[in-house]
Structure 1
Amino acid sequence: MATTFIDDRDSPFENDLKSLYDVIKERMEELEKKNLLHRLVYVGKLREDFCSSQEEIGHYYDNFFKNLHNSLQGEGITGLLLLYPKHCAHVVETSNEKITEVVRDMQKSIEKQEGPLEAAKILVISHDVPERLYNQWTHKILDIKSANLDLYEPSEAADKLVTDMLSQFLHLGTYLAKQPKLNFKNALDTLHEKVPEHLPQQDVINYLVENDTTCISKPVEYLNTYQKPIKVVLDSELTWPMPVKLFPYN
């Protein structure tokens, strides 16, 4: 009698078939692994007694981001820090958790005087950004002095100044992304010569930092709004004597 062998690969009951539970589980795991990208843009006033050179401020953030990357999982950190003689403009692209830590470091620097910032204003925090503007994080020292910063009077509203500065960062990131990797350092060093229109002006930065405007917020305001628990006072808590429940609940 001939013996018939059944190939398990042709069997409809093979072991490697996935159940609906397996498919749903894999999809859930993929969603959990997906990290959304967020972008923070802020301007600040540098503390004069923090360090002896602007290069040390660049090293401060470089070490801070390395420690942050090692302590928190998620998206890497990219962006650009522009260092002026007395001010800075900074864009950071990473996960929401790391952006929160950056804001906390800003507030710590302002409140406890333990960092490079004397004052700062958040221009925008964009959530679920589709793609990065910058391929890496770096800093650029702009030794461009501007006289009479306090005498600057804008001809446009503060929200228009913020929109223009965000647009400058957008064009700046696009310009740097088009540069070859071998020419990136040279492109970064010649920003004030090649694309000066893409660099935020010091007098505008100083105006936004020093003046209270409703379109931007301080780091402490952001932390109080999004990090502290919401305190809800019910009407029953303001009534005395306290209302008695008509029906018992277990």
Structure 2
Amino acid sequence: MANLLTNIVARSTLLSALEEKRRHQMKKYLLHRLFFVALLREDANNIEVTAYHERLFQKIAKFHLGESASGVLLIYSHCILHILEASSGTLYHILMDLAAVERKGPNALIQDVKILVMSHNIPTRLFTQWYATTVEVPVTLEDVTQTQTTEEVITECLTLILKLGVYLATLKVGNKGLSDCLHTVVPELLIPAETIKYLCRSKECLSPAQFLAMYNNPLQPKMDSESVWPTPAHMTA
């Protein structure tokens, strides 16, 4: 009887097949979320900004096949807020492109780029696809950046962004992007332009070049023997 049981071929179930498929998908690449802000060149227009990011994604897609990037690009009159969800390799190439653009100086399309935060190994996407939209936020009379620290400002911004992502997840967005104007539908979820400009000039936030320098340099802890001076020597009688 025991020999008969050992000869029976194990049959896979639908649950085991789905779990195996998920394991393969998870092994493919981990998902990360990048938040960054930037100022626009004075003569830059919305079409030019959107076209630049679309060309960037098309170029990256050639090197990272099967890795789709999702997120939203909010284009203000003089600044942008960009949220991206992709693999580490895709985000790395995007950061390198941003650093290269900044090296152009005053002629660069986007300037004073600052990384707000990088969220690693996020379980699910907040955005179903990537799209860009123009927002028209009126100038606020109250400037909260004068009474808050940079960390507090970033925390409030991330809270609004996540709420905006939850709202966008409930919408049916077509291939042409958002049809509704966010500044008329959910103005309370949009970050004021003054706050974005404040973060772009903040010294606490890293630029793409600074972020990449920190990313590329491995941690090298100093050994105790390296901090001893003079160097240890054997005692002689």
State the TM bucket, normalised to the shorter chain: 0.7 to 0.9
Q: Hey, what does 1:134 align to over in structure 2?
A: 127
Q: CA deviation at 1:34?
A: 3.3
Identify unmatched segments of 5+ residues in structure 1.
Answer: 1-9, 18-25, 244-250
Q: CA deviation at 1:140?
A: 0.9
Q: How does 1:227-242 map to 2 (within 5 A)?
A: 227-229=216-218
Distance across 1 between alignment mates of 2:138 and 2:183:
12
Local SS of the residue matching 2:213 = helix
Distance 1:74 1:95, change over 3 A: farther
Are 1:70 and 2:62 an aligned pair? yes
Q: 2:214 aligns with which of 213, 225, 230?
A: 225
Local SS of the residue matching 1:185 = coil
Local SS of the residue matching 2:103 = helix
Distance across 1 between alignment mates of 2:145 and 2:194:
9
Identify unmatched segments of 5+ residues in structure 2.
Answer: 11-19
Q: Hey, what does 1:36 align to over in structure 2?
A: 30
Local SS of the residue matching 2:146 = coil
Local SS of the residue matching 2:171 = coil
Q: How does 1:1-250 map to 2 (within 5 A)?
A: 12=6, 30=24, 33-48=27-42, 51=44, 53-73=45-65, 75-113=67-105, 115-144=108-137, 146=139, 153-181=145-173, 185-187=178-180, 190-213=181-204, 216-229=205-218
Q: Deviations over 1:56-111 (max 9, x none)?
A: 11011011112101212453100001111111110000001111111111111112
Distance 1:58 1:178, change over 3 A: same
Question: Contact between 2:67 and 2:86, CA under 8 Å: does it hold in 1?
Answer: yes
Q: Aligned AA for 2:24?
A: E
Distance across 2 between alignment mates of 1:73 and 1:87:
31
Q: Aligned AA for 2:210?
A: E
Q: How many residues align?
A: 219
Q: TM-score, normalised by structure 2?
A: 0.77
Q: CA deviation at 1:33?
A: 3.4
Distance across 2 between alignment mates of 1:100 and 1:71:
12
Q: Deviations over 1:126-151 (max 9, x none)?
A: 000011111110111124464899x8
Distance across 2 between alignment mates of 1:32 and 1:201:
37
Q: CA deviation at 1:224?
A: 1.0
Distance 1:32 1:43, change over 3 A: closer
Q: Deviations over 1:166-186 (max 9, x none)?
A: 111111111111113469732
Q: Deviations over 1:17-49 (max 9, x none)?
A: 7xxxxxxxx89x837733211000011111235
Q: Which has the larger radius of gyration?
A: 1
Question: Contact between 2:114 and 2:206, CA under 8 Å: does it hold in 1?
Answer: yes
Identity %: 27
Q: Aligned AA for 1:82?
A: L
Q: Aligned AA for 2:193?
A: Q
Q: CA deviation at 1:197?
A: 1.0
Q: Deviations over 1:178-220 (max 9, x none)?
A: 1134697323xx210110011111001111111322xx32222
Q: CA deviation at 1:123?
A: 0.6
